[in-house]
Amino acid sequence: MVGLFISVWVKRELLRKYYVSEARVCAVGCGVMGYLGNKGSVSVSFRIEGTSFCFIVAHLASGERKGDEARRNYQVSKILQRTAFAHQGGDEFHHPKAIFGHDRIFWFGDLNYRLFIDDALARELINKQDWRALKSFDQLKQEQGEDGVFQGWREGDIEFAPTYKYSSSNGNHYSGSLPSRTGEKQRTPAWYV
């Protein structure tokens, strides 16, 4: 994958205590023409004793226009459909073949779901640290509520300012928050998961 990397680390004391096995990886491209690696995912699957784990890092389609979230939802569905972990040797009865075959699943990355809100109102709510009000405009939450994507998944509590996208010249200001002569895009702040 272009620009995607995943690394799963296990503490040495856990390795001494538990048997880690059946490590597998899978990359799914969802970019140009639905297959190139500029968008997509890299997944790692393994087992610790009798529990199977799957970690997925994804980079989904960008954009703030209405309808861009549908492209992201489509890419999530393609990642879920096309992620397959090949069997090796005699483990075909133990190792999950797909994401939903695992006991524990963790999905993270640059999902690109945005805050569907006026930029000025977003910045006002950020200044007030009103995360609950801000979260009500979160596309990911809206899509989950409309049966669009990630049904049954849980996201941890968000009690911090949006993390996207800080200006390259000043990490204390969001990109586009100040008048710019460099042609910097105006971006409404958003959370990256």
Pair 143, 69: CB distance under 8 Å? yes
The 10s digit of each residue's pLDDT in 62-108 is 888 888 999 999 999 999 999 999 876 655 556 678 999 999 999 99
Query: Which of 115-119, 163-167, 171-175, 179-183 is the least confident region?
Result: 179-183
Q: What is the pTM (predicted TM-score) of this model?
A: 0.83
Mark which of 86, 112, 138 sits at the end of a domain.
112
Say which residue the tokens 């639905």 belong to.
34
| 47 bridge partner residues | 21, 52
Mark which of 112, 138, 156 sits at the end of a domain.
112
Q: Do residues 123 and 63 both lie within one domain?
A: no
Mark which of 82, 112, 142 sits at the end of a domain.
112
Q: Do residues 162 and 189 both lie within one domain?
A: yes
% helix / strand / coil in the chain, to the nearest 5?
25, 20, 55
Pair 106, 154: CB distance under 8 Å? no
Residue 178 has pLDDT above 60, yes or no: no
Pair 99, 78: CB distance under 8 Å? no
The 10s digit of each residue's pLDDT in 16-41 is 999 998 899 999 999 887 777 789 99
Q: Do residues 74 and 148 both lie within one domain?
A: no
Share of residues in the chain with pLDDT > 70 (%): 83
Task: Name the domain count of the chain.
Answer: 2
Rounded Cα distance between 182 and 26, Å, is: 39
| 45 bridge partner residues | 24, 54
Domain of 45, in residue numbers:
12-112
Judge whether 78 lies within some domain. Answer: yes
